[in-house]
Amino acid sequence: MKKGLLSKIIFALIVVAFIVCCAISAPITEAVGTLWSLLPPIVAIGLALITKEVYSSLFIGILTGGFLYAVAGNTPLPEDPEATVFTGFPKFMDAVVSKGFIGNIADSYNVGILIFLVVLGIIVVLMNKAGGSRAYGEWAAAHIKTRAGASFATFLLGGLIFVDDYFNCLTVGSVMRPVTDKHKISRAKLAYLIDATAAPVCIIAPISSWAAAVSGTVEGVNGIQLFINTIPWNLYALLTLIMVIFISLSDTDFGPMKLHEDNAKRGDIFTTRNKVYPEDDKPVHSLGKVIDLILPVIVLIAFCVVGMIYTGGFFDGASFMDAFADCDASLGLSLGSIGALIVIIFYYMLRGVLNFNECMDSIAAGFKQMVPAILILTFAWSLKSMTGLLDAGPFVSGLVQEATALQILLPLILFAVAIGLSFATGTSWGTFGILIPIVTGVFSTELANTAETGVIPPIVIVCISACLAGAVCGDHCSPISDTTIMASTGAQCDHVNHVSTQLPYAFTVAGVCAVGYLISGFIQNVFLVLGISVVLLIGVLFIIKIVESKKASKNFVEEVPPAKE
């Protein structure tokens, strides 16, 4: 039996089994707030991984959510509240079109992200046309001699851009893509390196949009103080960075990524060329210098930071940290990127590397480059709306509240639930926004003493860290996650290729983290738990490296033709 057919059969059986479980737990007419609410993302994610086609998979997931919402849409009649009428097709269309596509495109936060995407695409085209990308590529070629060096340089750049994960993905991708292409690193590997240094870096950076989002979900204690305390306990973020360093320096790959990397070494950096991204524009001028790439990136970072703290009230008297905590990331990134774009255009014109018409032509070209990301984001947001209409979040939070009696296992339970919720909904912010208030509610008595002592109980820090780590892990794995989509866009990698090659890496780290959080339920000593987790991860990676080396040696021996007599 062919592998593709087998995987489709397995997926069909899983969906059927899940539907049976849903039917046992609740009738389909009560889909809202039950196990049924998780069916749309399961259908979308499964289809994407099986068919290797993301647009239709997300759309079918949206239709599934709209159908469930319509079936559960028995509404009371005005003249007789006890009688109901099945609204059917009208409610289905309202859910999919009005609340799904139109609602998300009209949402001001989403529009801000789309504006930021388009402006960033324009800036990338400008940098390329001006010759800045070419000059940087030549400089990097002279200083970065190996594949390991190119991978590690991508990691370092990702670590430096910690303000926002969207900004991180697109900036690192546009800057490092020419370098990794030159050293024959697959686009799937580049997408992983970008994704692994986006959310995992932002979630441990006190000055980031993620720190602001986390601190805003906590009541009764200083949100920023609590966030800083969770950093050493965020096992997934820290171990992911360690894993990136290991595989970059050791050139170790496994799973589907191994095939992509082997093909890249032979010159095929795409493996499966589902070409959804246009080719980069060729440099128009040879006058471009490295400064023509570095300075625009610095301007963009500076303007985005200023835009974010402006929306948080920094210029109205708020402190820098409070401004970050209260900022509107979407509006701040839009304001900052538009301001930076104006400055960058003037800079290139004054430098004489681009004229006015060339700059204006870049606007349409930049928008065109971001069309695939805009389409996937719109579908992903609409799918999230379906899970929201079906109350998937409250359903999962209810399950967590029922498990709070197992306090020793609570960190592990929260980590696992956060992974599942974030993976299914594609939002890490929404996940910890749901779970953190539950944790603070469970430990309300312990937190009540914090105002007097100023010390946050260790078990609270561990549990909130588990929520954050699980949310980032699920976000890292999910095909409908904004950050995953941005990483594919930044690397200009087929989205399904990125997801399928990244999953084994993320699951490896998640398995080690599960052991760490299991230990943390018994011992709230961060040095001991983190130390054990790091040693365990490195041990697992060395075992994988040995196994892959033996496979490579065996394949080499089998491929050597027999000597002639």
Answer yes or no: is pLDDT of 21 > 90: no
Identify the residue with better confidence: 87 or 522.
Answer: 522
Q: How many CB atoms lie within 10 A of CB 257?
A: 23
- Residue 217 in contact with residue 230, Cβ under 8 Å? no
Handedness of CA 408, 463, 242, 248 (dihedral sign): positive
- Residue 83: the pLDDT is 45
Greatest CA span in the chain, whole angstroms? Answer: 96
62 with 381: CB under 8 angstroms?
Answer: no
Of the two residues 453 and 545, the one the predictor is more confident about is 545
Q: What angle do CA 469, 486, 46 make, to 5 degrees?
A: 70
Q: Cα separation of 263 and 270, whole Å? A: 8
User: What is the chain's alpha carbon radius of gyration, rounded to the nearest angstrom?
Assistant: 24
Say what the pLDDT of residue 3 is. Answer: 56
Evaluate if residue 557 carries a pLDDT over 60: no
Distance CA 334, CA 324 (A): 15
Range scoring the smallest mean pLDDT among 95-104, 307-316, 317-326:
317-326
SS3 for 442-455 is: HCHHHHHCHHHHCC
Q: Would you say 425 and 394 are in contact if contact means Cβ atoms under 8 Å apart?
A: no
Instruction: Kindly state the DSSP code that residue 282 receives in the 8-state scheme.
Output: P
Residue whose entry in the numeric block shows the structure tokens 């999910």? 478
- 213 vs 3, higher pLDDT: 213
**How long is the chain?**
565
Q: Which helix (H) or strand (E) holds 158?
A: helix 147-160
Burial (CB count <10 Å: 0-12, 13-18, 19+), residue 149: middle
Could you read off the pLDDT of 265-315 as tens digits, one per residue? Answer: 988 898 876 555 555 555 555 677 888 878 887 888 888 888 888 988 888
Average pLDDT over residues 412-439: 80
Q: What is the pLDDT of residue 563?
A: 47
Tell me 168's DSSP state: H
Three-class SS string for 543-559?
HHHHHHHHHHHHHHHHH
pLDDT of residue 427: 76
* Contact (CB, 8 A) for 32 and 53: no
- Please, which residues have CB within 8 angstroms of residue 213's CB and are 6 or more apart in sequence? 329, 429, 432, 433
CA geometry: angle 177, 178, 184, nearest 5 deg: 85
Mean pLDDT of 208-225: 65
Angle at Cα 135 formed by Cα 121 and Cα 196, nearest 5°?
55
104-152: pLDDT as tens digits: 888 888 888 788 878 878 887 888 788 877 777 677 777 888 899 999 9
pLDDT at residue 516 tops 70: yes
Helix axes 495-520, 235-250, angle to 10 degrees: 120
Instruction: Give 451-481 pLDDT, tens digit per residue.
Output: 566 677 888 889 899 999 999 999 888 888 8
At residue 448's C-alpha, the angle toward residues 443 and 449, to 5°, is 110
The total of other beta-carbon atoms located within 10 Å of residue 330's CB is 23
The rounded distance, in Å, linking the Cα atoms of 455 and 244 is: 34
Indicate the pLDDT class of residue 87, thresholds 50, 70 and 90: low
CA distance 77 to 5: 48
Confidence band (pLDDT; 50, 70, 90) for 445?
A: low
Of 184-188, 202-206, 282-286, 508-512, the least confident: 282-286
More confident residue, 91 or 257: 257
Per the listing, tokens 């983190």 go with: 530
Q: Where are the domains of the chain?
A: 3-106, 108-216+281-375
- Per-residue model confidence (pLDDT) at position 444: 66
What is the rounded distance in angstroms from the CA atom of residue 197 to the CA atom of residue 165? Answer: 8
pLDDT the model gives residue 156:
84
Please count the other Cβ atoms lying within 10 Å of the Cβ belonging to residue 254. Answer: 17
**φ, ψ for residue 364, nearest 5 deg:** -65, -40
**DSSP output for 366-397:** HHHHTHHHHHHHHHHHHHHHHHHHTTHHHHHH
Highest mean pLDDT among 212-216, 391-395, 530-534: 530-534
Tell me the whole-structure pTM to 2 decimals: 0.74
Q: How far apart are CA 437 and CA 131, in angstroms?
A: 50
Distances (CA, A) of 300 to 95, 289, 297, 410: 38, 18, 5, 42
End-to-end CA separation in angstroms for the chain: 39
Q: Note whether 263 and 271 are within 8 A (CB).
A: yes
Q: What is the dihedral of CA 490, 493, 498, 499, to 10 degrees?
A: 80
Candidate ranges 63-77, 246-260, 545-559; pick with highest mean pLDDT: 246-260
Residue 182 scores a pLDDT above 60: yes
Which H helix or E strand runs over 74?
Answer: strand 74-77
Cα separations in angstroms, 59 against 339, 380, 381, 523: 35, 9, 11, 45
Task: Report the chain's mean pLDDT, rounded to a whole number.
Answer: 80
Instruction: Tell me what the mean pLDDT of segment 486-501 comes to.
Output: 88
Mean pLDDT in residue range 481-488: 86
- Determine the Cα–Cα distance for residues 335 and 116; give it in Å rounded to an integer: 8
Extract the tokens encoding 99. 């609340």
- Which range has highest mean pLDDT (14-18, 49-53, 423-427, 486-490)? 486-490
| Pairwise CA distance, residues 362 & 300, whole Å | 17
Helices (H) and strands (E) in the chain, counts: 29, 2
The SS3 of residue 124 is helix
Q: What mean pLDDT comes out for the span 47-59?
A: 75
